[in-house]
Structure 1
Amino acid sequence: MREPTTTYEILLSLLGENGVVNICESYGGHTIRIPKEFRNEGLKDIWQSRFGKEGTAKLCAHFGGDRVYIPKNKAGQIEARNAHIIARLRDGVAVRQIAEEFQISERQVYVIFGKARAIESAIDTTNN
């Protein structure tokens, strides 16, 4: 397995999927300074509540003292949005209403649902 090279990959290796989502939601699109150690206990508590004690320690050990650009995680946001769209469709909500709610076209709602059905179909085929 190759070494992570992008900031996103490094964050993923340090924090895991949930941690990456948390840091991208908290700081995505900004450059932040990651301390070697926390002098402010309040800030340390905030970081530990968001990224856990272990995750915070890993961030400080890897990036400590550096300024790091945190990506926005656009792909993760789109994946989450698509999951909500699929759930709304399965709940019986009209395509037009979903399109308005998520500010996308009706066609895009159908495309998202079609891709999800294709993936589910492929999974069913490999499990049988």
Structure 2
Amino acid sequence: MWGRELDEAERWVADWSASVSERAEQAQRLAARVAGVTGAAADASGLIEVRVDSSGALTALHLDDRVTGWPAARIERMIMTTLRQAQTALFEQIAATVADTVGADSETGRAVLGGYERRFPAVAEDGDNDGGRHGG
């Protein structure tokens, strides 16, 4: 009787240990893939383009020469709006990466996505913060 219970306990520990190892490997794969993800966006006219790295930091900014006639406040507003759109694109790519590696419903997936959602709240098409993600 004790032998059977001990065998079951050993199997449970082995299964649990394998599960932990598998989740750790998945988390490492996720981290490696996320590190290479970028986001990009252009304003509706295509005159302003931005790119962000996996942390959401601006890595590239292109302004077409035609923006030189715009008031500075408009250029600033358009850059910031386009930057937020690139960060939204980054979030969408991160979400796909999470789904492919650890699953969006896993504890790790929820933690990663929650962190990105807090840093980069979704923006509406007009650039206003809409307070959350609504289906992509």
Q: TM-score, normalised by structure 1?
A: 0.35
Q: Which is higher, the Rg of structure 1 or of structure 2?
A: 2
Larger RCO: 1 or 2 (CA < 8 Å, sep 6+): 1
